[in-house]
């Protein structure tokens, strides 16, 4: 699963989204940093099926300049790339494009191609080939068949918030918007040769884990630590890296990690997500400083809203978690953009987000575009070709 490796191994400790453990909050707030982890799938260009040569591609990509910013994931079908921290979207976008190009080049030397999709369109055996390493072996021993359907790829956004208490407060303010992020990023309609009927099947597979989905409302750092301790006592997680909430404080770097999004087809879509999440965090920090309480939707309503967003993506209706009413998913996105608009303007990202959102409304989200590619010639290989062609756009 996305995150199997990023808990305690080099994959997270080398993540340059801000180094070191948590420290006291700075007296003067510095510009928020944002870093990105992207997970990719390797595919055979002839069969269009996923190919289990992740370790070879990682070794090649590392030698081509990515170093520790590339790593393996749970299955051998996957590769993960990681950016450095950035305060602006321009530098982040350049690094994501370069990272994708290097990984695609490394895959090409193995006769493979790379796609960025939340789930494999064609191929994969069950159980899947698992990457080498003690942590992966321990995961299989602990979670057993749960690992069988975790060839799933996410886009994780890291926001630099070093103080745990503030990070938890930001999490509380962001959690009502998780269903909107799921709908905005939904990009996994297919699973091993069939249309699942969902826009984000990755969201549904991830939800099977013992500790997953929307995080609790945290009353304090002590509440967080007590809950984590209780969960670890049950054996439901191997360590803090196994807390698969959609939003979580990182245990190894001073960031708040937003994990709700599918892997995005294009770099521009990843940048859209990064800009939105950064502005969400900035808006939440302003609300916290103003003494505004975070909304507290019912956990059952929030979970139901996540399911609805995963099923319908941008093409259906979403749930307003504070009223439980169904509204068009596009309306929920517009409400989110209005909430964060001052922060977007302050960061210089309003134009980027408005342009990215306009493209999604015009062309459809990732799931809609995958299905459109299939309809053109009624073939799933065309979906894979669409994803290959879109990787470095």
Buried b (16+ CB within 10 A) or exposed e, 181-218: bbbbbbbbbbbbeebbebbbbbbbbbbebebbbbbebb
Sequence-distant (≥ 6) Cβ neighbours of residue 6 within 8 angstroms: 12, 15, 37, 80, 156, 241
Query: Quick check: is 3 in a domain?
Result: no
Host H or E run for residue 389: helix 380-390
CATH number at 32 reads 3.30.590.20
Print pLDDT tens along the chain (393 aa): 444 444 333 333 333 344 333 333 333 467 899 999 999 999 999 999 999 999 999 999 999 999 999 999 999 999 999 999 999 999 999 999 999 999 999 999 999 999 999 999 999 888 999 999 999 999 999 999 999 988 999 999 999 999 999 999 999 999 999 999 999 999 999 999 999 999 999 999 999 999 999 999 999 999 999 999 999 999 999 999 999 999 999 878 899 999 999 999 999 999 999 999 999 999 999 999 999 999 999 999 999 999 999 999 999 999 999 999 999 999 999 999 999 999 999 999 999 999 999 999 999 999 999 999 999 988 999 999 999 999 998
> Does residue 125 fall inside a structural domain?
yes
- Neighbouring CB atoms inside 10 A of 15's CB total 28
Q: Rounded to an integer, what distance in angstroms lies between the CA atom of residue 60 and that of residue 218?
A: 42
In a domain, 299, yes or no: yes
> Is 1 a member of any domain?
no
Neighbours of 30 (CB within 10 A): 9
Whether omega for the bond prior to residue 361 falls within 30 degrees of 0, making it cis, is no
Integer angstrom CA distances of residue 140 from 1, 2, 136: 11, 14, 6
What is the tally of structural domains in the chain?
1
145 is a domain residue: yes
In a domain, 314, yes or no: yes
Tokens of 62: 């590392």
User: What is the domain range of residue 221?
Assistant: 10-390
């Amino acid at each position: 699963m996305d995150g199997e490796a990023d808990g305690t191994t080099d994959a997270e400790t080398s993540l340059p989204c801000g180094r070191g453990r948590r420290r006291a909050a700075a007296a003067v707030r510095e510009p928020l940093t944002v870093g990105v982890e992207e997970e990719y799938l390797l595919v055979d260009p002839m069969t269009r099926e996923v190919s289990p040569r992740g370790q070879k591609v990682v070794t090649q990509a590392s030698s081509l300049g990515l170093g520790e910013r590339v790593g393996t994931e749970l299955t051998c079908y996957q590769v993960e790339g990681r950016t450095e921290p950035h305060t602006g979207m321009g530098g982040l976008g350049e690094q994501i494009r370069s990272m994708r190009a290097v990984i695609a080049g490394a895959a090409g030397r193995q006769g493979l191609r790379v796609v960025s999709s939340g789930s494999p369109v064609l191929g994969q055996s069950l159980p899947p080939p698992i990457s080498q390493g003690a942590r992966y072996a321990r995961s299989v021993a602990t979670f057993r068949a749960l690992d069988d359907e975790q060839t799933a790829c996410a886009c994780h956004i890291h926001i630099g918030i070093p103080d745990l208490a503030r990070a938890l407060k930001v999490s509380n303010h962001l959690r009502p918007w998780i269903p909107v992020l799921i709908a905005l990023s939904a990009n996994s309609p297919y699973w091993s040769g069939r249309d699942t009927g969902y826009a984000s099947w990755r969201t549904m597979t991830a939800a099977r884990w013992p500790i997953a989905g929307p995080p609790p409302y945290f009353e304090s750092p002590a509440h967080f630590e007590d809950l984590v301790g209780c969960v670890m006592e049950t054996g439901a997680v191997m360590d803090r890296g196994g807390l698969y909430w959609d939003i979580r404080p990182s245990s190894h770097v001073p960031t708040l990690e937003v994990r709700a999004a599918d892997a995005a087809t294009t770099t521009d879509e990843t940048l859209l997500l990064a800009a939105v999440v950064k502005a969400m965090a900035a808006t939440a920090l302003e609300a916290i400083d103003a003494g505004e309480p975070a909304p507290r939707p019912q956990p059952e309503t929030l979970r139901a809203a996540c399911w609805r967003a995963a099923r319908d993506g941008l093409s259906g209706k979403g749930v307003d978690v504070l009223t439980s009413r169904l509204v068009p998913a596009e309306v929920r996105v517009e409400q989110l953009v209005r909430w964060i608009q001052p922060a977007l303007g302050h960061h210089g990202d309003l134009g980027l987000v408005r342009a990215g959102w306009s493209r999604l409304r015009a062309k459809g989200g990732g799931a809609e575009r995958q299905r459109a590619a299939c309809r053109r010639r009624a073939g799933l290989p065309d979906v894979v070709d669409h994803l290959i062609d879109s990787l470095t756009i």
